Amino acid sequence: MIICTKNTIGRKFSPYLTFAQNLHLSFAQTNYHTSQNSISLYSNLITHCLSLNSLISAQSIHAQLIKVGFNHHTFLGNRLVELYSKVGTIKDAFQAFDEIPNKNVISWNILVMGFFKIGSFVNARQLFDEMPERDVVSWNSMISGYALNGFSECALEVFSEMNEVGMRANGFTFSIIVSCVSSAYHGKQIHGNILRNAMNSSNLVVGNSLIDMYGKLMLIDYAFGVFLTMEELDVVSWNSMIWACNKCSYRKWALDHFWSMRNAGFSPDDFTVSTVITVCANLRDLEKGKHVFAQCIRMGFLSNSIVSGAIIDMFSKCNRLEDSIQLFEEMPIWDLVLCNCMIAGYARHGFPAEALQLFVLTLRENFRPTEFTLATVLSSTSFLLLAELGTQIHSLVLKLGSDLDHIVASSLVDMYAKSGLIDYASEIFSKMGIRDLVSWNTMIMGFAQNGRGLEALRVFEELCKSGPPPDRITLGGVLLACGQGGLINEAWSVFSSMEEKYGVTRGIEHYTYMVDMLGRAGKLTEAMEMIETMPHEPSPLIWEVLLGACRIHGSVKFAQMVAERLMELEPRSSLAYLVLAQIYATKGRWESVARVRKDMKERGVNKAIGCSWIGIKNHIFDFKANQILHCGGEAMFSLLRLMVWEMRNEGYVSQQYTVDGDGGEE
> How far is the CA of 430 from the CAs of 79, 200, 426, 457, in angstroms?
51, 47, 6, 15
* Dist. CA 259–CA 257, nearest whole Å: 5
Angle ∠(162,165,170) on CA atoms, nearest 5: 45
Q: Can you give 2-62 as a three-state secondary structure string?
A: CCCCHHHHHHHCHHHHHHHHHHHHHHHHCCCCCCHHHHHHHHHHHHHHHHHCCHHHHHHHH
* Dist. CA 110–CA 97, nearest whole Å: 9
* Dist. CA 324–CA 355, nearest whole Å: 13
Q: Which residues pair with 624 in a beta bridge?
A: 611
pLDDT at residue 442, as a whole number: 93
Among 209, 251, 243, smallest CA distance to 226 is for 209
| Helix, strand, coil percentages in the chain from 3-state DSSP, rounded to 5 | 75, 0, 25
Alpha helices in 401-450 (DSSP H): 406-418, 422-431, 437-449
pLDDT at residue 19, as a whole number: 46
* Dist. CA 40–CA 590, nearest whole Å: 104
Going 322 to 324 to 327 to 330, the CA torsion angle's sign is: negative
Alpha helices in 219-370 (DSSP H): 220-229, 235-247, 251-263, 270-283, 286-299, 305-317, 321-330, 336-348, 352-364
Q: Can you give 600-646 as a three-state secondary structure string?
A: HHHCCCCCCCCEEEEEECCEEEEEECCCCCCCCHHHHHHHHHHHHHH
* Dist. CA 541–CA 418, nearest whole Å: 21
Three-class SS state of 659: strand
Helix (H) or strand (E) holding 510: helix 508-520
pLDDT at residue 663, as a whole number: 40
Residue 662's CB: how many other CB atoms inside 10 A? 9
pLDDT at residue 657, as a whole number: 43
Type of residue numbered 289: G
Measured between its terminal Cα atoms, the distance across the chain in Å is 68
> How far is the CA of 511 from the CAs of 6, 58, 530, 560, in angstroms?
81, 72, 8, 21
> Counting Cβ atoms within 10 Å, is residue 297 exposed (0-12), middle (13-18) or buried (19+)?
exposed
Among 477, 479, 499, smallest CA distance to 487 is for 479
> How far is the CA of 84 from the CAs of 80, 118, 462, in angstroms?
6, 12, 52
What angle do the packed helices 387-400 and 371-384 form, to 10 degrees? 170
- Contact by Cβ (8 Å): 646, 621: no
Residues 6+ apart with CB under 8 A from 594: none
* pLDDT average per 10 residues of sequence, the chain (666 residues): 35 42 46 61 79 76 79 81 77 82 86 83 87 90 88 89 88 89 88 81 86 93 92 93 93 94 92 94 92 90 91 93 93 89 89 86 87 84 68 87 85 88 91 88 92 92 89 92 88 90 89 90 88 87 86 82 81 78 82 82 71 61 60 65 79 49 41
Type of residue numbered 180: C
pLDDT at residue 248, as a whole number: 92
pLDDT at residue 286, as a whole number: 92
Q: How many residues does the chain have?
A: 666
Report residue 612: phi and psi, to 5°: -125, 155
pLDDT at residue 200, as a whole number: 64
* Dist. CA 514–CA 244, nearest whole Å: 39
* Dist. CA 482–CA 87, nearest whole Å: 62
- Contact by Cβ (8 Å): 55, 63: no
* Dist. CA 296–CA 56, nearest whole Å: 45
* Dist. CA 631–CA 634, nearest whole Å: 9
Report residue 474: phi and psi, to 5°: -60, -50
